[in-house]
Amino acid sequence: MRILGIESSCDETAAAIVEDGQRVLSNQVFSQIEIHQPFQGVVPEIASRNHLLKIMEVVQDGMGGLTPGDIDAVAATEGPGLTGSLLVGLTFAKAIAYAWNKPLIPVNHIEAHAYAPHLTAEIPFPYIGLIVSGGHTLLIRANAHTDWEILGSTIDDAVGEAYDKVAKLMGLGYPGGPILDKLAHEGDPSALPLFRDMPRFLPDTPADRYRFSYSGLKTAMAYRLKQMEATPENLRHAAAAFQKSAVELLTRKTKNALEDTGIKTLTISGGVAANTGLRESLAALGAKGYTVVPAALKYCGDNAAMVAGRAYADYIAGKRGDMRTDAFSRLAFVKKGKRPPADAQGRRNS
Ligand code: KG4
Ligand code: ZN
């Protein structure tokens, strides 16, 4: 079964065709990074208008020379993401599905990221999935593609968001994550006394064993950067200190989830899964008997292959959209995953 996937949740316009959820026949991604660079962040209205400008060309290229007769279904990201951006891809997908008389499969963006490692590897269930991106940081337990639960997520900033904000404070440009990652490798995390005792929230209390917090680390960086002379050498060391703390927190919470559940397989996906420090730190779990499967680099950031792949799993499980399918902006609307119960304070992890 061949599915055309369309992704437009943030600042990438993408289209891909995936066969039976595994063979990627074509994969086109147009990134708006240069368009948003002057603003040092994604401007939602500019993003949606550029999706509108590009979507036709990207989908034509994404067909990879195939014709509508070669396609069995059309899938598109329904959320979470920027509403205006989502509407472009979803509406385009509806129009194609209608015109070509194909089923429409709406795909959850988080579920699509979780699927990305499956595009390049056979992964046995159950597994723990660490999904880290510009908008989300969460640990899931996946029993099957369509049976998973959120173990914990960030209570404030996502890790990618923290990378981007700290990079902005350091004057590194946008998007800051990859630049900060590269700089961190050239620095020594313990060179500057000022950056030694960085906060590592949240502590591993029973309620917070799988929960993350990145706003404290970001604020700590902001205060310390103000007290530091911004020489190139100091910036390298500051980047290294930030990366060490950010990665240690992700690693610690992931280990908690693996140890508590006894599950031996870990997947890593989302834009921040491209981070070299994180990949190294989690790959080290391999020596402790865990199988660690990171998404291939080209499927870490937003792309449509993961959408088409995930759509296959959804289609097999019976999921169909129709012309009333809506877009949604927040993770709280995750429909398929089981939501965790509220804690004593009424907080949920999503
Ligand atoms: O998954 P993605 O493309 O979009 C969202 O769904 O958010 O993730 C983008 C995020 C950005 O915050 C970007 O800075 C971050 O992933 N990122 C990285 C790296 N590459 C991308 N963060 C740290 N290190 C990297 N190498
Ligand atoms: Zn994403």
DSSP assignment string, 243-309:
HHHHHHHHHHHHHHHHHHH---EEEEESGGGG-HHHHHHHHGGGGGT-EEEEPPGGGTSS-SHHHHH
The predicted pLDDT at position 345 comes to: 44
Closest ligand 1 atom to residue 9 Cα is 6
178 Cα to the center of ligand 1, angstroms: 7
Q: How far is the CA of 92 from the centre of ligand 1 (A)?
A: 26
Q: What is the per-residue pLDDT for 123? A: 98
Residue 300 alpha carbon, nearest atom of ligand 1: 1
No. of H helices and E strands in the chain?
10, 10
Atom of ligand 1 nearest to the CA of 276: 26
Q: How far is residue 105's CA from residue 93's CA, in Å, rounded to a whole number?
A: 9
Give pTM, 2 decimals: 0.93
Which protein residues touch ligand 1 with a CB less than 6 Å away?
10, 133-135, 160, 163-164, 175-178, 181, 270-272, 274-275, 301-302
CA of 169 to the centre of ligand 2 (A): 23
What pLDDT sits at residue 339? 44
pLDDT for the residue 332:
53
What ligand is nearest to the CA atom of residue 161? 1
**C-alpha–C-alpha distance, residues 150 and 319, integer Å:** 20
Q: What angle do CA 109, 81, 330 make, to 5 degrees?
A: 90
- Residue 248 Cα, ligand 1 centroid: separation in angstroms? 17
Q: If the chain, 350 residues long, is cut into consecutive pieces of 10 residues, what is the mean pLDDT of each piece?
A: 98 98 98 94 96 98 98 97 97 98 97 98 98 95 96 95 96 93 97 91 91 95 96 97 97 98 98 98 96 98 98 96 90 47 44
With a CB cutoff of 8 Å and minimum separation 6, the contacts of 154 are 136, 137, 138, 211, 212, 213, 214
Question: Residue 173 region, left (φ>0) first, then alpha (ψ -120 to 50), else beta?
Answer: left
